[in-house]
């Protein structure tokens, strides 16, 4: 199993190119199931989760090409299977994104239920209830949800809590349903808007994406299209924290600062210099890093996917910061590893109290999920001596060539196989 070895103490400097957003590319790939025509995607990050989605689609009979240069072609002319098997779903929960498109176009789907994961229980009840409200018959059997419907019918669906992939699944299903669907309390993440843009290019009739109410007028069929995936705001945010925590100066290119408002505002509050242009942001870390509280929230709030990285930054703060996680119930595993590196953190329910000013020392640490691994790399960048981050496969799920990009900024980091 691969590990990352890094030696802290270098101020990062230079320029880094941001890849396409994993969490926008995954639903875009699933959306190819909605048409028999080819869907061409650009700016698809060449990361493990994308390759897992490719395997899933290929096993269903989709012709799929995913290239390291970010271009992809997906053609779901006919399918040989309508199933997302346990073996794939257990490695990537986002496999559930095929459920909506399959029921929408083919009237049938069988998908393994994802079960719990390292960051929380993460049920998919709202995906299933939404399809039922649209007329699908859904049964849970042998760990799978089996859904069938002659043709879905538009419905008014109110989400109890904001769900990103739930909104995406139902948006895709509703695109081919009969009549109008209203999604209320919908997610408004930039990834939702990107999916809506893609679906509109395929001929779907969608309004209100980016707000809490999305209206979808179903059409009889959808066409192929070409679409460029938005930049990854979480990858960009991670490099912004890398610059801040090392008191370096980094130009983050090919990103979308408008999607990062909550992240950039918070960095400014803690004393980081932020200079944003249309598709680039310059970050200059400064002393002192001020300790400031944060609470994670659905977009446009501060993203849960940046909580671990921000926590790493707060270990270097000048006071005490309370970090409250409201999306997932168990997303502080990284804090326990940072404590082993010398951080002063107390977990109280859904909050972590981080006392800044810790001198971190390198240690052998274990990553529990994607963003936790990124935060341990960030902690390692300021730690004294050598840090080894184990279970790098988590990092590889969502960060494209991370050690190469960090080396480009001067970090002393390598992968050990
Ligand atoms: N929830 C339910 N029932 C449902 C669906 C969700 O109770 O049917 C709850 C979840 O348990 C959670 C909350 O609602 O407490 C929000 O979860 P959401 O459904 O929004 O999460 P997701 O769609 O499974 C996506 C991203 C995650 C990101 C979250 C929150 C993708 C592929 N994944 O997950 O990304 O953390 O939204 O923004 O888009 C990551 O990239 O590291 C990652 C975990």
Cα gap 148→151, rounded to integer Å: 9
pLDDT of 7 over the 80 cut: yes
pLDDT tier at 109, thresholds 50, 70, 90: very high
Angle ∠(60,133,81) on CA atoms, nearest 5: 10
| 185 Cα–ligand 1 center, Å | 14
pLDDT tens sequence across 246-303? 999 999 999 999 999 999 999 999 999 999 999 999 999 999 999 999 999 999 999 9
By annotation, the residues acting in catalysis are: 117
Whether 114 lines ligand 1, by a CB cut-off of 6 Å, is no
Check: CB of residue 136 under 8 Å from CB of residue 145: no
Give kind and range of the element (H or E) at residue 63. Answer: strand 63-66
Among protein residues, the one whose CA lies closest to atom 4 of ligand 1: 124
Question: Which pLDDT score, from 0 to 100, does residue 121 have?
Answer: 79
pLDDT tier at 118, thresholds 50, 70, 90: confident
| 94 Cα–ligand 1 center, Å | 9
Atom of ligand 1 nearest to the CA of 121: 11
Cα gap 209→360, rounded to integer Å: 43
pLDDT of 103 over the 80 cut: yes
Give kind and range of the element (H or E) at residue 295. Answer: strand 294-295
Question: Who has greater pLDDT, 285 or 122?
Answer: 285
Question: Token pair of 119, please?
Answer: 């960051």
Give kind and range of the element (H or E) at residue 54. Answer: helix 48-60
pLDDT of 120 over the 90 cut: no
pLDDT tens sequence across 150-188? 999 999 999 999 999 999 999 999 999 999 999 999 999
Whether 94 lines ligand 1, by a CB cut-off of 6 Å, is yes
Check: CB of residue 341 under 8 Å from CB of residue 312: no
Cα gap 98→2, rounded to integer Å: 30
- Shortest CA distance to 10 belongs to which of 250, 233, 273, 292? 250
For strand 249-253 and strand 280-284, is the pairing parallel, antiparallel, or unpaired?
Answer: antiparallel
Task: Kindly report the average pLDDT of the chain as a whole number.
Answer: 97
Mean pLDDT of 313-334: 96
Mean pLDDT of 320-335: 95
Cα gap 284→136, rounded to integer Å: 52
Check: CB of residue 8 under 8 Å from CB of residue 384: yes
User: How many angstroms from the chain centroid is the CA of residue 154?
Assistant: 28
| 400 Cα–ligand 1 center, Å | 21
Question: Which pLDDT score, from 0 to 100, does residue 48 have?
Answer: 96
Cα gap 159→401, rounded to integer Å: 36
Among protein residues, the one whose CA lies closest to atom 31 of ligand 1: 23
Whether 122 lines ligand 1, by a CB cut-off of 6 Å, is yes
| 343 Cα–ligand 1 center, Å | 28
Tell me the three state secondary structure of residue 252. strand
DSSP state of 213: E
Question: Which pLDDT score, from 0 to 100, does residue 117 have?
Answer: 76
**158 bridge partner residues:** 184
Question: Which pLDDT score, from 0 to 100, does residue 245 have?
Answer: 98
Cα gap 332→376, rounded to integer Å: 12
Question: Token pair of 30, please?
Answer: 């699933």
- The residues, any chain, with a CB within 8 Å of residue 404's CB and separated by 6 or more, are none
Mean pLDDT of 381-397: 95
pLDDT of 132 over the 80 cut: yes
Mean pLDDT of 109-136: 90
pLDDT tens sequence across 59-102? 999 999 999 999 999 999 999 999 999 999 999 999 999 999 99
Cα gap 269→291, rounded to integer Å: 9
User: What does residue 325 show for φ and ψ, rounded to 5 degrees?
Assistant: -105, 120
Give kind and range of the element (H or E) at residue 128. Answer: helix 125-133
Question: Which pLDDT score, from 0 to 100, does residue 353 have?
Answer: 98
Percentage of the chain beyond pLDDT 70 is 100
Question: Which pLDDT score, from 0 to 100, does residue 19 have?
Answer: 98
Per-position b or e across 343-362, b if 16+ CB within 10 A of its CB: bebeeeebbbbbbbebebeb
Question: Which pLDDT score, from 0 to 100, does residue 1 have?
Answer: 82
pLDDT tier at 381, thresholds 50, 70, 90: very high
């Amino acid at each position: 199993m691969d590990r990352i070895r890094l030696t802290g103490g270098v101020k990062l400097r230079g320029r880094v190119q941001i890849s396409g957003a994993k969490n926008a590319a995954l639903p875009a790939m699933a959306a190819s199931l909605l048409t028999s025509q080819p869907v061409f995607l650009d700016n698809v990050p060449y990361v493990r989760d994308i390759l897992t989605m490719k395997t899933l689609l290929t096993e269903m009979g989709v012709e799929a090409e995913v290239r390291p240069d970010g271009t992809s072609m997906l053609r779901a002319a006919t399918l040989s299977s309508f199933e997302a098997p346990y073996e794939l779903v257990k490695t990537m929960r986002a496999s559930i994104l095929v459920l909506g498109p399959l029921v929408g176009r083919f009237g049938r789907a069988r998908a393994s239920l994802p079960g719990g994961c390292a960051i929380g229980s993460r049920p998919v009840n709202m995906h299933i209830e939404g399809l039922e409200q649209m007329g699908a018959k859904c049964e849970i059997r042998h760990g799978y949800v089996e859904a069938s419907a002659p043709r879905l019918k538009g419905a008014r669906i109110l989400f109890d809590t904001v769900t990103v992939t739930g909104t995406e699944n139902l948006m895709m299903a509703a695109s081919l349903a009969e009549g109008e669907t209203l999604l209320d309390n919908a997610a408004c993440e930039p990834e939702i808007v990107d999916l809506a843009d893609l679906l509109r290019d395929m001929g779907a009739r969608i309004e209100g994406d980016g707000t809490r109410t999305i209206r979808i007028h179903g059409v009889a069929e959808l066409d192929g299209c070409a679409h460029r995936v938005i930049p990854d705001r979480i990858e960009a945010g991670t490099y912004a924290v890398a610059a801040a925590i090392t008191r370096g100066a980094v130009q983050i290119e090919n990103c979308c600062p408008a999607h990062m408002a909550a992240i950039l505002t918070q960095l400014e509050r803690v004393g980081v210099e932020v200079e944003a242009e249309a598709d680039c942001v310059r970050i200059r870390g400064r002393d002192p890093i001020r300790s400031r509280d944060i609470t994670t929230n659905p977009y446009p709030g501060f993203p849960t996917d940046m909580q671990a990285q921000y926590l790493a930054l707060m270990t270097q703060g000048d006071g005490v910061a309370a970090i409250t996680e409201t999306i997932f119930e168990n997303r502080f595993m990284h804090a326990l590893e940072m404590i082993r590196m010398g951080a002063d953190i107390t977990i109280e329910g859904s909050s972590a109290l981080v006392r800044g000013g810790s001198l971190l020392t390198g240690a052998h640490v274990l990553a529990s999920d994607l963003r936790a691994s990124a935060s341990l790399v960030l902690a390692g960048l300021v730690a004294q001596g050598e840090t080894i981050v184990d279970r790098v496969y988590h990092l590889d799920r969502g960060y494209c060539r991370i050690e190469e990009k960090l080396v480009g900024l001067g970090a002393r980091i390598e992968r050990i196989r």
